[in-house]
Amino acid sequence: MARQWKAFRWWILAWVALTLAGAVAIARLELAQLKDAFETNARIMHRLLSQRVVQHDAILATLALLQPGPDGPADAAPEQRLPALYPQILSAQRRDREAAWSDPAMASAEATSRQLRRANLADLDFASGRYQLVLAAQPASYALTIDLRAMVPWAEWPLEPASSPVRVVLEHSGQQFVLQPGRLAPGGWRFEFHKHLAADSQAFDVVATQTVGWAELPWGRMALWALVLAAVLAWARHGLRQRAERSRAEELLRLGQVARLNTLGELAAGMAHELNQPLTAVMASAQAARRLLDDDPPELDTARQAMAQAVEQARRASDVVGRLRRAIERPDLSGQTQALDLVEAVRRALYLLEPECQRRGVAPVIEAPQPVTVLAEPVALEQIIHNLLMNALQALEHAPADRRLTLTVDANGSSGRLQVADTGPGIAPEVLSRIFEPFFSTRTGGLGLGLSLCETLATNMGGALTAAPNESHGALFTLTLPCQPQTP
């Protein structure tokens, strides 16, 4: 039990280790995918915003370039039409040649713009979401007031601003404007993106941030992996155990046969000694008596004494035989029978003899039209079937071709019947009458106990075992066993 638990513990450990490794891999893959998507989106947002600010530069440059000459109509102010065309442009201002900006900050920004030869930020108010851009030009300079929120091309925006977990912020000189709030959480993993917009005049920093919390990991997939792994390991373990059990069963069977042979050998040795002692005494006494009688004159008294001893020892030998018989006498099996499926018993015996069949190239055929239940003692029944099959297989070894082994199971009223038919050399008629005698064998080295034992077992269970020639050639053994309790 403890050993079993120990082995089971290794399986559990393997499962835990593989589950962890798989879960880490799944999480890393998921995080990599999330990061990829995040960075793609951030680049798209950066590009969209950059296009807009570049557009602002272009609008100012166009105004400066196309401004009406000194002779032009003074009231011609094309810049005033801009807010209608561009929703992000709240207003446009023009400073004519002699005029001055009302706001001194504008004047300073214009001066810088002139110096830099490009548009310049005049006022930056991220808190109210707007900024002013000035371009110094001749004769008039222009300024645009731009709304940050209207500047974003929401139609093309890759994320849903209200629900997206990504926080997007524009930063410039310490001020922040939140384009979308996102959902940032402490802990877990954090992706960040920083890039200035592609216009020097409005080089706002685009900062995108996303956090992935523990709860957002793909727990479902990880759980699925754990389950699949558990199933695979359980299946593998089951397979291995089944294989081990089968080989153990075969080993046990082999051991059982060896043990039986050893027991038999020991029995024979013991019997030889037990019988040899009195036989030695009988022989020595009788031989001594003969010599004493041959003497001249014969020593009658001693010879008589020797003969008495011989008789005594012969009786002792016969006692040994009687004791031996009582010792190995099998108990009456009729009281221990139980209902058994005969077909199933045949299948099991065949399963165990599968290697023997394969070695001889024999494919046994079972003909069992209906289930047959007989009353038998399981071990005795198994032994009978096993011996009959082994006999048939050994007989088939001597058949050059057409090696057939047919097992027929049927019922006939009150008894079930198993017929084992082989196409081996068959049984010679003079042998047929002696085939169930103990110590009678046609095989060299055979003990001649197998069939004798089977017949005794069958009889003890209220059945019978008979032998006959098979229809064409070979031998046919018929085992009959009662189907229902026999009334005594």
Partner 1 sequence: MNPAAPTPAGSAPLSPLIHLIDDDAAVRDSLALLIGTVGLRVQTWADPMAFIDGFDRQGIGAIVLDVRMPGISGLTVLDTLAAQGVDQPVIMLTGHGTVEMCRRAFKSGAAEFLEKPVNDEQLLEALQNAVRQHVRSRERHQADRRARERYAHLSEREREVLGLIVAGLTNKEIGRALDLSPRTVETHRANLFAKLEAESLAQLIRHYAALVETP
Q: Does 266 bind partner 1 (CB under 8 A)?
A: no
312 binds partner 1 (CB under 8 A): yes
Residues 6+ apart with CB under 8 A from 60: 119, 133, 135, 142, 144
Position 203 contacts partner 1 (CB under 8 A): no
Closest contact distance (angstroms) between CB of 444 and partner 1 is: 19
- Give the nearer residue to partner 1 in terms of CB position, either 51 or 302: 302
Window contacting partner 1 (CB under 8 A); options: 194-202, 265-273, 366-374, 433-441 = 265-273
**309 counts as binding partner 1 under rule CB under 8 A:** yes
Nearest-approach distance from CB 303 to partner 1, in angstroms: 10
- Taking CA atoms, 203 is separated from 54, 63, 279, in Å, by 10, 21, 124
Binding test (CB under 8 A) with partner 1, winner from 143, 199, 292, 342:
292
Interface residue with partner 1 among 55, 112, 164, 302 (CB under 8 A) is: 302
Q: Are 210 and 54 in contact (CB under 8 A)?
A: no
Where does this chain touch partner 1 (CB under 8 A) — which range of 3-11, 15-23, 312-320, 414-422? 312-320
Using rule CB under 8 A, residue 209 touches partner 1: no
Identity of the residue, 317 or 468, whose beta carbon is nearer to partner 1 in the bound complex:
317
Q: Work out how close the CB of 286 gets to partner 1 at its nearest, in angstroms, rounded to a whole number.
A: 9
HSE, CB side, 13 Å, CA atoms: give it for residue 435.
21
Helix, strand, coil % in the chain, rounded to nearest 5: 50, 20, 30
How many chain residues are in contact with partner 1, going by CB under 8 A? Answer: 25
Is the bond preceding 469 in cis, omega lying within 30 degrees of 0? no
Considering the rule CB under 8 A, would residue 313 count as an interface residue with partner 1?
A: yes
DSSP 8-state code for residue 306: H
Dihedral Cα 408, 411, 412, 416, nearest 10 deg: 90
Report which of 93, 69, 77 is spatially closest to residue 141, judged by C-alpha positions: 93
Measured from the CB atom, the residue of 91 and 302 that comes closer to partner 1 is 302
* DSSP letter (8 states) at residue 171: E
Alpha carbon distance 252, 256 (integer Å):
6
Residue among 51, 277, 334, 373 that touches partner 1 (CB under 8 A):
277
* Integer Cα distance of 192 and 211 in angstroms: 9
Q: Counting contacts by CB under 8 A, is residue 276 touching partner 1?
A: yes
User: What single letter denotes the amino acid at residue 412?
Assistant: N
**What does the alpha-carbon distance between residue 412 and residue 372 come to, in Å, rounded to a whole number?**
10
Q: Which of 183, 260, 273, 473 is close enough to bind partner 1 by CB under 8 A?
A: 273
Shortest Å, Cβ 263 to partner 1: 17
> Quick check: 272 binds partner 1 (CB under 8 A)?
yes
Would you say 306 or 399 has its CB closer to partner 1? 306
The least distance separating partner 1 from the CB of residue 309, rounded to whole angstroms, comes to 6
Alpha helices in 329-377 (DSSP H): 342-352, 354-359
Contacts of 487 (CB under 8 A, 6+ apart): none
Interface residue with partner 1 among 63, 106, 179, 306 (CB under 8 A) is: 306
Q: Is 288 in the site for partner 1 (CB under 8 A)?
A: yes
How many other CB atoms sit within 10 Å of the CB of residue 290? 12
- Least distance to partner 1, CB of residue 483, Å: 47
**Amino acid identity for residue 299 in this structure:** E
For partner 1, the binding residues (CB under 8 A) are 269, 272-273, 276-285, 287-288, 291-292, 295, 302, 306, 309-310, 312-313, 316
